[in-house]
Amino acid sequence: MKIKNNQLIRRLGYEFKDPSLLKRALSHRSVGKDNNERLEFLGDSLLNFIIADALCKKFPSSREGDLSRLRATLVQGKTLAELAREFLLGDNLILGEGEMKSGGFRRDSILADAVEAIIGAIYSDSDFIRCQQIVLSWFDSRLDNITLENTDKDPKTRLQEHLQENKKPLPIYTVIETRGEAHAKEFVIECRLESVAQVFVAVSSSKRAAEKLAAEKMLNHLKI
């Protein structure tokens, strides 16, 4: 497998004993069966554990809820896409023709998935300790800079906590439409409260992101 100028390998800080694992990690599902989805699944679990462990050590007295919010900030798609761009990962993605034409190499979700797949590939190529070392080196500055004070709660969390504090039923999120082709799906999701007549709808390329956008609209309506 030819990686452009071997720059990606140097940026990742890891050289694969089995280069086919890296090739698979960079292969979007649009290329066919030999894609990165299984490695992404593995990498997602590894990433969550590695970051959770690092946060527990950095904040030994913090509550579970605070640690969960910090972890969510570090492992969210936006952060992983930023990492991918630092690695210039888009230049090395292997995409199907349709995904290539639609600019998939620039899409946050595809970049973030590839980062998780690479984590899964590194673990498969080595062991947990080596994988942990590499991942922590990627997140070194972000872990250094993150504090309990500078991490905002996402809209879904804020809405849920507001309702719990006021002893009201939790919001209901419903997928009312899924549209677009397999490589570019969009989810239309509504957020509904028993105590509010108006329903708020949002659209995004992932269910989670659409739920957050809908929750934010509800918060604005409630003036929270």
| Catalytic residue annotation | 44, 116
> Taking the CB of residue 158, how many other CB atoms lie within 10 A of it?
17
How many angstroms from the chain centroid is the CA of residue 136? Answer: 16
Sign of the alpha-carbon torsion through 137, 138, 142, 145? positive
Q: Which residues of 186-210 are buried (b: 16+ CB within 10 A; e: fewer)?
A: ebbbbbbbeeeeeebbbebbbeebb
* Residue entry with tokens 């890891």: 14
Residue type, position 114, single letter: A
